[in-house]
Each structure stands twice: as C-alpha cells, then as structure tokens.
A and B are shown apart, each in its own frame.
Chain A
Amino acid sequence: GESVGLHLPTLSVQEGDNSIINCAYSNSASDYFIWYKQESGKGPQFIIDIRSNMDKRQGQRVTVLLNKTVKHLSLQIAATQPGDSAVYFCAEKVEAGGTSYGKLTFGQGTILTVHP
C-alpha cells in the first residue's frame, strides 16, 4: 500500500516468487490507471495500464487488478527476477472534462527488492 511521509512501503521477495504490490487510489472519478517502474536515478517506465471498465488486465509476467468498490489497485509480478528490483508507482487519471484536463496523480511508490 501507500504511506505518507519519507518512508516508502517495502516488499522483499526471493527470486522466483510472485510479488504483489498494492495501491489505494483517492478519486472515485478516476477512469484510467497506470503502473510505472522506476529504477534508481532513472525516469519511470510504463509497465501496464487498465481502464476503469475492466477489473483485470494481463501483460508479460504482470497482471493488474482493479477493485473500484474499495478503490484499490494491485500489480502482480510472476516469477520475480532481480532485475525487477525498483520503485513501483501507481498513477490514476480523472476523466478529462470541465475543469479537469485529466492529469495523472501519482502514489508515493513501493520499493521492491528481489533477492537472488
């Protein structure tokens, strides 16, 4: 999950395990969600996205689950590898319209550490 302040949530797993990273989003009007991976000293990289009319989407080794009832998003990484070690951010986007241009709001991130 997400936390406030300087201490990011952390998840440590062994190589080959499955990882689940959670995110609680804030706006029930959000209609699009993205997971990003950020390695140390680099910009975020897109992993997978999901629209609000879906509850599950799969990519290569990754699955995103969306539960709109409780405003919860999760990222599942199968067979986690040391190269997956990074900070993972969720981002939500409110549908553009009216005064909203549809900006992305980012969570604070979760640190994933994969041990060989």
Chain B
Amino acid sequence: DGGITQSPKYLFRKEGQNVTLSCEQNLNHDAMYWYRQDPGQGLRLIYYSQIVNDFQKGDIAEGYSVSREKKESFPLTVTSAQKNPTAFYLCASSPNLAASYNEQFFGPGTRLTVL
C-alpha cells in the first residue's frame, strides 16, 4: 500500500455520532487526499491538502472535515451532518499537488458502516 496506512480497517458508528478516520504516510509527500467510494461507482474527492495547515474542499465535502497539522497525517472526520456516511473511504498521497505527471498512491481503505 505504498507507505500509506489507514485505520481502522472497519468502523461502525451509530447515527448522530462523529467519527474520525486516520491516514498516515511515510513517503514524504506534500499532497494528501480523501476519497469516498460507493458500490459500483468511481472515487469521489472529499478534501485535499497541498501542504501542512492548508486544505481545500473537493466535490463532496459537505458533512466532512479534515485537518493537516503534520505533513504525514491527514485525518478525516465524518460528522453527523453527513446524511449517507456508509461507504469505503480511501486516503491517497502524491509528491506534489500541481506537478503534471503525478500519480497518487492509495492506502488500504476504511469501511465505515452506520448502524
């Protein structure tokens, strides 16, 4: 999984609770990303961060929050405002946000289920 770890692998949450998903990378990458994947669909971007203490909303940021206090860490909080949080969450990193040819490396994912 390219030096990116996500924890936990499976997470269960009751409705109305906030929950935080962990993402850590030891690749010394500047850019980090959070995606959501639903069955039969491609990846949709939630948030991304180009550098420490900076992050931007992606296509589906409502109901989510992030922080980037350290280069190697980019935790995602799924808040109670997220109406349909059950999904597979993927964290990714890349060396540099804007470099033209810049593959993203993915973590193993966290499967969140709301009970």
Q: What residues make up the interface of A, taking CB atoms closer than 8 Å to B?
A: 5-8, 31-32, 34, 36, 41-46, 49, 51, 89, 93, 95-96, 101-104, 106-109
- Known A-B contacts A34-B103, A41-B109, A44-B106; the reply to A102 vs B42 at CB < 8 A is no
User: Are A46 and B103 within 8 A (Cβ)?
Assistant: yes
CB of B40 to closest CB in A, whole Å: 4
Interface centre among B43, B45, B105 (most CB of A within 10 A): B43
Chain A: minimal CB distance from B42 (Å): 4
Contact A46 B105 (CB under 8 A): yes
In the assembled complex, the CB of A108 is this many whole angstroms from the nearest CB of chain B, namely: 4
Distance (Å) between the CB of A42 and the closest chain B CB? 6
A7 to B39, CA, bound (A): 9
From B4, B45, B105, A103 is in contact (CB under 8 Å) with B45
Interface of A, secondary structure class, is loop
- Mark B25-36 against chain A: 1 for CB-CB distance below 8 A, else 0: 000000000000
Please determine whether A89 and B43 come into contact, CB atoms closer than 8 angstroms.
yes
Closest 8 CB pairs of A and B: A43-B106, A6-B40, A96-B98, A106-B42, A106-B43, A108-B42, A44-B106, A43-B108
Complex Cα–Cα for A103 and B33 (A):
10
What residues on A are CB-neighbors of B108 within 8 Å? 42-43
**Smallest beta-carbon distance A90→chain B, Å:** 9
The 19 sampled A-B contact pairs (Cβ below 8 Å) are A7-B40, A32-B102, A41-B109, A42-B1, A43-B90, A43-B106, A43-B107, A44-B43, A44-B106, A46-B103, A49-B103, A51-B101, A89-B42, A89-B43, A101-B98, A102-B97, A102-B100, A102-B102, A107-B42
